[in-house]
Structure 1
Amino acid sequence: MYVFMYICSLERDLASRKLQLQENEKLLGIMAFGDSILDTGNNNNLISLIKCNFPPYGQDFIGGKPTGRFCNGKVLTDLIAEGLGVKETVPAYFDPNLQSKDLATGVCFASGGAGLDPLTSSITSVIPISEQLENFREYIRKLEGLVGEEGANKIISNSLFLLLIKYDISTYTSMLVSWTSTIIKDLYEVGVRKIAIFSTLPLGCLPILRTLHGGLMRSCGDDDNKAAELFNSKLLAEMKNLSSFLPQAKIVYVDIYNPLLDLINNPVKSGFSVPDRSCCGTGTIETSVLCNQLIPFTCDNVSEFVFWDSAHPSEKAYMIIASPILQDLKKNF
């Protein structure tokens, strides 16, 4: 009886959401694949050093508690879901408190530290993209158990899929683009039709890479940024190519390289005063990617910092970047 009532309620909710989709151009769900920029907590129970389920992470999140998001607050996955009217936050697929009802509106499969190259994920002991896709197939089976095959197909085809990886790029940008293309084809084969593929960041301007490659002045690393630009140009070309022979798919390339670079180069315009160091870390010199759990150092006013830790933007930076992204996604989806 309970199961019957739950499914009926879920079907009514889906019907209402379908009507909203027609009238307000809203989507049924949000799914995210990639790394720490989108991860909402999948690394929490892994035996890995790449996790952030400890203070001061999450100090500005709902309830002020760390959730495994690599930020002081919400990450892009949450902000896009909220901005598109799907839901306020997107739970991690491996969240032990995940509810069955959450499956119908989307979950996050991303894992901080994951890369397109399987070796990257192996070294950091996180969830590689290939395994994220397997988890998504498992998710489909669970969803079919709740709403049936037809209902699951409707949810998947009317959900937006986010794919973002802070690529570890050097000389094999073409290979990385090829792997990205294969991932999109795999998603297409299981019914995915709406995909937003994000560019990589201005890697050379991340605080950790300023310290490693920026010299005494900690300037942005030109070689790192040029590699990122090369990858992004190849990725954009491949997305255009994919769109031509996957006719039922809507693939949108989302540029976050230039918006973030603008915040870094023109911080005062957006209310920032510190674009080259992170709020949370070890002090004035960036010596590690994540905040120090044992001896945390956190700035007094995170809203003045473009970066929360040495590899991830602050929630305020994400919110500014998300604004034009949402406009673009609303226009295309």
Structure 2
Amino acid sequence: MATAKYLLTSIAAALLLLLPPTDAAAFRRRPTAVFAFGDSILDAGNNNFFPTLFRSNHRPYGVDFPGGVATGRFSDGKLATDVVVSALGIKELLPAYLDPVLTDPGLLTGASFASAGSGLDDLTARQANVLTMGRQLAYFQEALGRMRRAAGGLAAGRAVENGLFMVAAGSNDVMFGLLLRRNCSVPEYHDLMLGNLEVFIKKLVNMGAQKFAVLGLPPIGCLPLQMGLAGHRASRTCVARQNIDAQSYNTKLQALILRLQISLPLGSKLAYVDIYTPLINTILSPSAYGFERAMEGCCGSGYLEMGPLCNALSAVCPNPSNYVFWDAVHPTHKTYAILAANFLHNVLPTLYY
């Protein structure tokens, strides 16, 4: 089963060879490093190193990861960022910044600073006792110093200037953080999130970052956890209101990216990464993408288990590659590979042309 999973990574690599000539030429200036910030879909195991319930460094997580190791990635196998760096020939995996195995020279090709449970609203992260986006920035500042010591200021500067900065945050805010701000309407909360995101991106620009891929929200109402909490488990239908709100946020996010593109220094490029559309298409037509189950996760009942609730005592489906979701929130390795291939084919060329 694991061998079949590893072959999925080749989907992304193969797509690079299928790019039209103009796009293929763009990859002569492909990124030489990837730096990831945000929440659990990009966290490669940072949460392993401090006390929080938002951890996945235990079985059955990682059953399809090389060696069957539970690394702290919220999946049965690799994350989309792992697929991306491997397909681009940067390195095999994108490591967690807090992993003591990561060397200073290793930082020159990137790392993940993301923290499962984090969000654009600091209250979200603090409630979960995980890294705020500000703390992730502080660690990146620390990483810059490590890179300079390892390779000198010029080499560190080139790594950052040509690096791909991926930012994925917001899902935890709209699922959990909004509950902490009871006097805030959904549109007002979206504005708060986007205001914080704008500040975050500008701070990274001041540190030398130029190429940004900013992920939108997924179809929140189709996450198994949200369907289960809303009582849609029997009907197996998405929560329409939550999906409408996610689309509304994504529309505002795209407007912010356009505005930032105009205002940021020459050379800066920002791209919106639409994960809503490919994921909703996969969920609504799973067989077209090689899946059998799209409305529940592979772990446990599929509607509640994630983090500490998806554990060694949980029943696990016999073949995760048949499922869109691994646990009640997070995709399987196969789904991540499909999203990564879509990113490599449709988004990355717009940043490196």
Aligned twin of 1:161: 165
Q: For 1:318 and 1:70, how far apart are their aligned partners in 2?
A: 11
Counterpart of 1:312 in 2: which secondary structure? coil
- Aligned counterpart for 1:49 among listed residues 42, 47, 53: 53
Cα displacement (A) at 1:331: 1.4
Q: For 2:196 and 2:143, how far apart are their aligned partners in 1?
A: 22
Cα displacement (A) at 1:23: 7.4
1:22/1:299 CA distance change after superposition, 3 Å: closer
**Which runs of 5 or more structure 1 residues have no equivalent in the other structure?**
1-20
- Is 1:39 the counterpart of 2:43? The answer is yes
Alignment of 1:1-333 (within 5 A): 24-167=28-171, 168-169=173-174, 171=186, 172-215=189-232, 216-246=234-264, 247-280=266-299, 282-283=300-301, 286-290=303-307, 291-332=309-350, 333=352
Instruction: Please report the TM-score for the alignment, with normalisation by the length of structure 1.
Output: 0.90
Aligned length: 311
Cα displacement (A) at 1:320: 1.2
Q: For 1:219 and 1:122, how far apart are their aligned partners in 2?
A: 32
Cα displacement (A) at 1:201: 0.8
Identity of aligned residues (%): 37
Contact 1:25/1:330 (8 A) holds in 2: no
Counterpart of 1:44 in 2: which secondary structure? helix
Q: For 1:157 and 1:99, how far apart are their aligned partners in 2?
A: 20
Aligned twin of 2:22: none
Q: For 2:283 and 2:90, how far apart are their aligned partners in 1?
A: 30
Q: For 1:208 and 1:329, how far apart are their aligned partners in 2?
A: 29
Cα displacement (A) at 1:188: 0.5
CA deviation vs aligned residue, 1:12-59 (integer Å, no higher than 9, x gap)? xxxxxxxxx997332110000000000100001211110000111111
Contact 1:208/1:287 (8 A) holds in 2: yes
1:23/1:179 CA distance change after superposition, 3 Å: closer
Aligned twin of 2:183: none
Contact 1:166/1:201 (8 A) holds in 2: no
Aligned twin of 1:12: none
Instruction: Please report the TM-score for the alignment, with normalisation by the length of structure 2.
Output: 0.85
Contact 1:243/1:249 (8 A) holds in 2: yes
Q: For 1:121 and 1:27, how far apart are their aligned partners in 2?
A: 29
Cα displacement (A) at 1:98: 1.4
Cα RMSD (Å): 1.6
Q: Which amino acid aligns with 1:203?
A: I
Counterpart of 2:46 in 1: which secondary structure? coil
Q: For 2:312 and 2:318, how far apart are their aligned partners in 1?
A: 19
